């Protein structure tokens, strides 16, 4: 039988990132069913009134801007062109990617009990490997693999190439999820991957098309994820109302029903408020948690949880204020008290051990879906016609999905990127069978998969028309040249 020791993967294969080929083996070895934090945590749930969980999101896109148009990390481009825009921040960005490997050990040595969740895109991890930044990788390995620091840090999975799920072709959603897991295991090992149970969607994107959401949740669960972060604006109650305020501070059960009437669900931790880096940079979740109280779930009293995520490097507050403000709550809580920091899986395992069942969680669904279900009434053949009807009669209705706020679309205005993206995806799936073990190990498949996933990087839309859409066109042309 294969073991984690015998599945030692190299981050680079055929001079490309090792993002496929051993998905089945990795999935088998990493989905052990063992608890991640329960036997290691030093938190006593009964003594805690409320808690907070903070995540840092890190990303740099891959762009065709190296020598002769080679694929390089945007971070490398920043170093090589320091006079352009804000590229002078390349050095501080690298420090941001590395510094938790210093800050967590320092706080632990001071007798503090810190917690942090980390979300690094596959692009960024590959970029650091490409640049030979072993100093950063080694710092991250320190807090990922050393038993002294491991209980304080939780990695979150994500889409490999920072694709926004609502506008990602459905067949590619699972490929992104698997590619990130594959690459993470190639750097940190399969055992470390077995502890990755939470998922952080790029741009907090949540699809609200019934079939896309269903396939998304299905892919997450098939890859071993137990929960995901969800932005409060992207979900609603089954009745179609915004979540009640207190409900945002306990786990929810996100329910997804497709156009065949099949239903699947996954635990969701609700990220409150919109995109505001100061929330984490200044450790506001800690101060918000001070005003929260215990809640009753399934007849059992549990601490409320304030969940937040922010860019870990982007903006002055993250570069300058976070290293000043991050240590303060942990130093204040050094002697205990009614507030504690958690990691997401740690919190969920603790409340489960106290007797709370997933079935006790309140339900939520993707925003705007109540309008569909109110007209379908269980007649699943009417789902698409109902969506078409609502699009033509209700100006506020859309199935573009939602992200940081419900009015931000990753679809409208980006047709010149989305159409090529869908064309390349169709070509890829017409030629390759991603379920065939021999196919996914071939260098041709690896390269084709890479171009397909790279074209779906959100930055090619987020940064507007111009050089970024030019980058997308180059990637598209190279991908199409393989067919």
pLDDT exceeds cutoff 60 at 17: yes
Mean pLDDT of 237-260: 97
Residue 223's Cα: distance from chain center in Å? 13
Query: At which of 323, 346, 364 does a domain end?
Result: 364
On whether both 456 and 308 belong to a single domain, the answer is no
- Looking at the predicted structure, is the pLDDT value of residue 310 above 60? yes
Say whether pLDDT at 236 is over 90: yes
- What distance in Å separates the CA atoms of residue 250 and residue 3, rounded to the nearest whole number? 37
Q: Select the more confidently predicted residue: 197 or 337.
A: 197
Residue 32 pLDDT: 85
Question: What band does 465 get if pLDDT is binned at 50, 70 and 90?
Answer: low
Question: Do 351 and 273 lie in a common domain?
Answer: yes
The pLDDT score that the predictor gives to residue 418 is: 74
Residue 433 lies in a domain: yes
Would 176 be classed as within a structural domain?
yes
Strands 16-17 and 50-58: unpaired
Say how far apart CA 366 and CA 256 lie, in whole Å: 8
Average pLDDT value for the chain = 92
pLDDT value at residue 5? 59
> Could you give phi then psi for residue 268, rounded to 5 degrees?
-125, 130
Helix axis angle for 134-145 and 170-188, nearest 10°, is 90
Q: Say whether both 302 and 447 belong to one domain.
A: no
> Tokens 């490398």 map to which residue?
76
Residue 315's pLDDT is 79
Give the separation between CA 163 and CA 276, rounded to whole angstroms: 21
Domain span including residue 439: 423-483
Last residue of a domain, one of 364, 380, 405: 364
Closest CA to 451 of 435, 419, 473: 473
Q: Closest by alpha carbon to 342, among 68, 45, 107, 16?
A: 45
Residue 412 has pLDDT above 70, yes or no: no
In a domain, 2, yes or no: no
Residue 397 lies in a domain: no
In a domain, 282, yes or no: yes
Q: Quick check: is 119 in a domain?
A: yes
Q: Please give the average per-residue pLDDT across 106-132, as a whole number.
A: 98
**Pairing outcome for strands 153-157 and 198-199:** parallel
Residue 72 lies in a domain: yes
Tell me: do 448 and 341 sit in the same domain.
no
1-5, 93-97, 142-146, 452-456: which has the minimum mean pLDDT? 1-5
**Quick check: 408 pLDDT over 50?**
no
List phi, psi (to 5°) of 463.
-85, 10
Q: What average pLDDT does this structure show over 82-106?
A: 95
| Burial per residue of 154-175, b for 16 or more beta-carbon CB atoms within 10 angstroms, e otherwise | bbbbbbbbbbbbbbbbbebbbb
Q: Which residues of 184-204 are buried (b: 16+ CB within 10 A; e: fewer)?
A: bbbbbbbebbbbbbbbbbbbb
210/290 same-domain check: yes
User: Residue 167 and residue 410: Cα distance in Å, rounded?
Assistant: 7
Do 478 and 345 reside in the same domain of the chain?
A: no
Which of 321, 349, 364 lies at the terminal end of a domain, its last residue? 364
Give how many domains the chain has, as a whole number.
2
Instruction: Write down the pLDDT at residue 130.
Output: 97
| Distance between start and end Cα atoms, the chain | 37
Q: How many CB atoms lie within 10 A of CB 266?
A: 21
Listed ranges 31-35, 255-259, 402-406; the one with the highest mean pLDDT: 255-259
Query: Is pLDDT of 463 > 80?
Result: no
Spatial neighbors of 250 by CB under 8 A, at least 6 apart, are: 295, 297, 302, 304, 305, 361, 362
Same domain for 161 and 53: yes
pTM: 0.95
pLDDT of residue 163: 95
Question: Which residues, at least 6 apart from 316, have a Cβ–Cβ distance to it below 8 Å?
Answer: none
Query: Tens of pLDDT along 180-230?
Result: 999 999 999 999 999 999 999 999 999 999 999 999 999 999 999 999 999
264 and 334 part of one domain: yes
Is residue 316, in this structure, part of any structural domain at all? yes
Residues 181 and 262 grouped into a single domain: yes
Residues in the chain: 483
Among 57-61, 311-315, 377-381, the minimum mean pLDDT is found in: 311-315
Statement to judge: residues 69 and 143 lie in one domain: yes
Based on the fold, state whether residues 130 and 278 are members of the same structural domain. Answer: yes
Q: Tell me the β-bridge partners of 357.
A: none
The answer on 427 and 360 residing in a single domain is: no
- Find the CATH number of the domain harbouring 130: 3.20.110.20
């Amino acid at each position: 039988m294969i073991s984690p020791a015998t599945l030692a993967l190299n981050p680079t294969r055929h001079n490309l990132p090792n993002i496929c080929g051993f998905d089945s083996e990795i999935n088998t070895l990493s989905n052990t069913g063992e608890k991640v934090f329960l036997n290691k945590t030093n938190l006593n749930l009964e003594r805690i009134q409320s808690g907070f969980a903070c995540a840092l999101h890190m990303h740099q896109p891959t762009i065709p801007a190296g020598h002769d148009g080679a694929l390089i990390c945007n971070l490398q481009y920043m170093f090589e062109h320091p006079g352009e825009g804000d590229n002078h921040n390349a050095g501080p960005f690298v420090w941001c990617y590395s510094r938790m490997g210093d800050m967590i050990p320092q706080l632990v040595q001071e007798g503090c009990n810190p917690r942090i969740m980390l979300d690094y895109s596959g692009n960024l991890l590959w970029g650091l490997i490409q640049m030979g930044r072993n100093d950063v990788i080694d710092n991250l390995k320190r807090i990922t693999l050393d038993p002294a620091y491991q209980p304080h840090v939780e990695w979150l999975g994500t889409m490999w190439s920072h694709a926004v799920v609502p506008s990602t072709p459905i067949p590619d959603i699972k490929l992104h999820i698997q590619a990130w897991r594959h690459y993470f295991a190639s750097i940190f090992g399969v055992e470390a991957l077995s502890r990755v149970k939470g998922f952080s969607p790029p741009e907090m994107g949540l699809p609200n098309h019934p079939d896309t959401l269903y396939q998304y949740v299905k892919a997450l669960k098939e890859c071993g994820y137990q929960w995901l972060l969800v932005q409060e604006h992207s979900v609603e109650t089954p009745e179609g109302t915004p979540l009640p305020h207190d409900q945002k501070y306990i786990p929810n059960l996100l329910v997804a029903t497709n156009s065949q009437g099949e239903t699947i669900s996954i635990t969701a931790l609700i990220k409150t408020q919109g995109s505001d880096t100061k929330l984490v940079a200044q450790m506001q979740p800690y101060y918000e948690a001070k005003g929260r109280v215990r809640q009753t779930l399934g007849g059992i009293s549990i601490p409320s949880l304030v969940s937040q995520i922010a860019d870990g490097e982007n903006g002055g507050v993250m570069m300058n204020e976070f290293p000043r403000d991050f240590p303060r709550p942990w130093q204040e809580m050094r002697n205990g008290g009614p507030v504690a920091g958690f990691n997401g899986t740690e919190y969920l395992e603790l409340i489960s051990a106290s007797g709370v069942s997933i079935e006790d969680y309140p339900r939520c669904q993707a925003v705007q879906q109540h309008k569909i279900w109110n007209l379908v009434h269980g007649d699943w053949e009417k789902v698409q016609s109902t969506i078409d009807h609502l699009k033509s009669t209700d100006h506020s209705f859309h199935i573009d999905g939602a992200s940081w706020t419900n009015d931000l679309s990753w679809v409208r205005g980006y047709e010149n990127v989305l159409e090529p993206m869908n064309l390349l995806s169709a070509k890829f799936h017409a030629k390759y069978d991603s379920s065939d073990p021999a196919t996914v190990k071939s260098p041709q498949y690896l390269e084709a998969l890479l171009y397909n996933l790279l074209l779906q990087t959100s930055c090619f839309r987020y940064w507007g028309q111009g050089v970024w859409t030019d980058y997308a066109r180059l990637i598209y042309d190279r991908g199409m040249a393989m067919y």
